[in-house]
Amino acid sequence: MYKVNLIKRSIQLTGAILLLCIHAKAQSPVRMPGNIKQVTVSGQQVKISMDNAFAEITVYSPSVVRVRMDKQPLKADFSYAVISKPTTTKINVSQNTQEIHITTDSLQVNIGKTPFSISFLTPDNKVINEDEKGLTTSWINDQVTTYKKLQDNERFVGLGEKTGNLDRKGEAYTNWNSDVFGYAVNKDPLYSTIPFYIGIHHQLNYGIFFDNSYQSDFNFGASNNRFSSFGARGGEMNYYFIYHPHLNDIIKSYADLTGYMPLPPLWSLGYQQNRYSYYPETEVMRIAQTLREKKVPADGITLDIHYMDAYKLFTWNKDRFPDPASMTAKLKSMGLHTTVIVDPGIKVEAGYPAYESGKAADIFIKYNDGENYTGQVWPGWCHFPDFTSDKGRTWWKDQLKTYMRQGVSGIWNDMNEIATWGQKMPDNVLFSFEGHPATHMQAHNVYGLEMARASYEGARAAMKERPFVLTRAAYAGSQRYAALWTGDNRAEEDHMLLGVRLLSSLGLSGYSFTGMDAGGFTGNATVGLYTRWMQLAAFIPYYRNHTQVNTKSAEPWAFGEEALEIVRNYINLRYHLLPYLYSKMYEASTTAMPVVRTLAIDNTYDAQVYDPQFQNQYLFGDAFMIAPFESSASFGKIYFPEGKWYNLYNDAVTSGKKEDITAINIKSLPVYIKGSSIIPMQSLVQHTGEQPTDTLQLHIYKGEQAHLFTYYEDNGSDYDYENEGFYKRDIIYSGAGGKLTLDKVSGHYNSKFHYIRFILHGFEDKQQLTVDGKAIGVTATSYSFLSPISRFDPQGTFVPADSCKVQQFTIANSNQLINVDL
């Protein structure tokens, strides 16, 4: 009997231990999806039920697949970023006991059933990307994360406005839009959230866009050697997988999802003079008159917060600016457009029209008990419009009309992270989220996007011309509404170089109209740093000089005559290059190819372009390679990717796939032109409202590769281009064949250029060429991209501008096909 009882006790104890183990396993703090229980196929979508989760796999196009997952049945779909719908795509779905198999003509998707996991393969079965087995997707409380297997030698680029190296391998980042005054060069997060990156390995490329507006985290092998991951502190696992053989097609597919930038007004590509702050009106006019007197081309002046009455939005300080409309009209008569800063905070003050109007319209964000949230910023205690509601945006658009009536051309959205003193908005503040109330945790990262949207839509509705809209905070999709600059940087050498990487990364992430505060916002730049930064900024889409209050003046003439001449040279060059830049902005608006292009886009598998000593080099469009260096550098090592490269200043040729050490001086920024490039230029103007001469210069650089350049022109101001009010033609260089073809013109806009002067670089000396079968005389001459610098070196020797030997000829500009035998 004793033995029987002992056996029973042993069985009971064993059972209890087993139950405890099962219970412990069931209560694991990490929740996995488990095994697939049910699969439903509907058109291009596969719905999946699992032990602990639900999923939808949707084919958006042959190369784009969306993955949605949650712990509970998926809710109605909504996104502020994605504006496209799936395109009709031929797919095949099959399954067995082990997996579900989805194929398109470009991609395979394999979904494991026991347990759930997902992998993406090429049509010939090469693994592009796959879940890390055993980890896949999981939840810890409300936090959801997907883990991807780290492939051998995998690189990661993109993720928008992020510090660090071009190749993000071994790093981790957080997305939470933050006000980071004078940020360090390794600071994370910064002002914007663009949760899109590109992975590169084994001659394969893919993109992942994680569309979740909660605070998100990305890990590219930081503190582990097993996985890369992306996750958020709440919401769904919701990502789009993109596969293409080339990076530019991945970027375009991302833009197909989230939208393209609108074509900006031409004036916004000119030089813009900023300061925190220019006031009163007499100071603004002094700056404007000095720009014109010193012949520094410029198109814009920006007013910071001191134009307002006690920092209150939609007001003017009447002592400083007694007649804003008269002032903006005077500036416009000088070819200068006015941009004003706007912050979202509306001061809580009885009798203040914006406050009273906003309160009456009930458009402010609120606590969960219904009381308006109040935070402190420049004017004092403020309420904040809810830009995630239609009525909040409508109210904002109506308020903006006052600026448009006063002749303002640009709206600069600042402090829209949301920034408040203390930098800790409570999580229990509620937002409309288009009628689906959300907490601050979900709405924070999209607030800047929706403020930019309201500003763009409001300015566009109130103006006959295209507005310029700028934003500091952003989310994926903000490129549809606003240019973006990199915030409150420092007047330091490493900040100048970091700025280049930030813009290159933004370009990889679908953002083309970008810039930084040239010269640095905080602190005082040295003469050398200011000069180098202004040279560099001439090759950036948004050309803005800006410095803060209580710093030295930073206008081009504030650093001495030599610096003025050098800086003016590069601003002049920028205005010569406006036909090229405007064409590239048009390209960005239709293909999402950025204007600031990391070398990785065209040289994806060349390890040298990711080397930290070369990662700051970039392409300006597809022709110019810029090599930034500290202003104090006397020599620099430059990497030349595959191809043939011409020195901008003297046409000296360097072959590609090699490094070269070159002497550097502050007189000229190292710039090179890629062989086969086509570069349209115009005569110098002092602002974009001034007509250049009627001859377009077309620079052709001899190369072995064929090249197509799309030349684009319109009136640069209104929306007639949306109704074919443009002049567009493809210009094709055949490469080794030595032929140049100017295709027929499309659009009904008449070009401002009646003649085309062809300027040939690197071609053999010839007396004549054939144009449309007729002989044309060719003239040999010299050409300089920069004017002489009127100075003497320390030895007293005059320093001339560099020049190159070219051949040129001129023909009438015809809208018909033009063939040139070079």
pTM across the whole model = 0.95
CA distances from residue 613 to 503, 637, 810 in whole angstroms, order as listed: 17, 8, 42
The model's confidence at residue 802, banded by pLDDT at 50, 70 and 90, is confident
What's the pLDDT at 795? 52
Span 363-401, pLDDT tens digits: 999 999 999 999 999 999 999 999 999 999 999 999 999
Extract the tokens encoding 698. 């077309």
The model's confidence at residue 4, banded by pLDDT at 50, 70 and 90, is very low
What's the pLDDT at 210? 98
What's the pLDDT at 126? 98
What's the pLDDT at 7? 45
What's the pLDDT at 796? 45
Instruction: Determine if residue 503 is left, alpha or beta; phi over 0 gives left, psi from -120 to 50 gives alpha, anything else beta.
Output: alpha
Q: Which residues are catalytically annotated?
A: 414, 417, 488
Strands 468-471, 429-431: pairing is unpaired
Average pLDDT over residues 489-499: 98
The model's confidence at residue 263, banded by pLDDT at 50, 70 and 90, is very high
Lowest-confidence range among 15-29, 274-288, 521-535, 648-662? 15-29
CATH of span 36-243: 2.60.40.1760
Cβ neighbours around 287 below 10 Å, total: 19
Q: Is the pLDDT of residue 676 over 70?
A: yes
Q: Is the pLDDT of residue 11 over 50?
A: no
What's the pLDDT at 787? 87
Alpha carbon distance 396, 59 (integer Å): 37
Residue ranges per structural domain of the chain: 36-243, 481-674, 677-822
Span 712-730, pLDDT tens digits: 999 999 999 999 999 999 9
Span 689-705, pLDDT tens digits: 999 999 999 999 999 99
115 or 14, which is more confident: 115
Q: Is the pLDDT of residue 533 over 70?
A: yes
Extract the tokens encoding 644. 């043939």
Q: Which of 546, 430, 561, 566 is nearest to 490 (CA)?
A: 546
What's the pLDDT at 790? 61
What's the pLDDT at 789? 75
Q: Is the pLDDT of residue 798 over 60?
A: no
36-243 against 677-822: fold identical: yes
What's the pLDDT at 563? 96
Extract the tokens encoding 379. 């004017």
Radius of gyration, alpha carbons of the chain: 29
pLDDT over 90, % of the chain? 94
Alpha carbon distance 343, 375 (integer Å): 13
Order of strands, sheet of 596-598, starting from the edge strand that comes earlier in the sequence: 596-598, 618-620, 624-626, 671-674, 644-647, 653-655
Span 203-262, pLDDT tens digits: 999 999 999 999 999 999 999 999 999 999 999 999 999 999 999 999 999 999 999 999
481-674: which CATH architecture? Alpha-Beta Barrel (3.20)
Span 610-622, pLDDT tens digits: 999 999 999 999 9
Average pLDDT over residues 648-655: 97
- Average pLDDT over the chain, rounded to an integer: 95
DSSP code of residue 556:
G
Q: Is the pLDDT of residue 17 over 60?
A: no
Average pLDDT over residues 164-177: 98
Average pLDDT over residues 432-452: 98
What's the pLDDT at 222? 98
Average pLDDT over residues 39-50: 97
CA distances from residue 740 to 66, 579, 730, 818 in whole angstroms, order as listed: 43, 19, 11, 8
Alpha carbon distance 711, 486 (integer Å): 29
Helix (H, G, I), strand (E, B) or coil at 89: coil
677-822: which CATH architecture? Sandwich (2.60)
Alpha carbon distance 248, 324 (integer Å): 45
Span 559-596, pLDDT tens digits: 999 999 999 999 999 999 999 999 999 999 999 999 99
Lowest-confidence range among 22-36, 650-664, 783-797? 783-797
- Are 598 and 621 in contact by the 8 Å Cβ rule? The answer is no
Four-CA torsion 156, 205, 677, 606, nearest 10 degrees: 60
Residue 668, preceding peptide bond in cis (omega within 30° of 0): no
The model's confidence at residue 3, banded by pLDDT at 50, 70 and 90, is very low
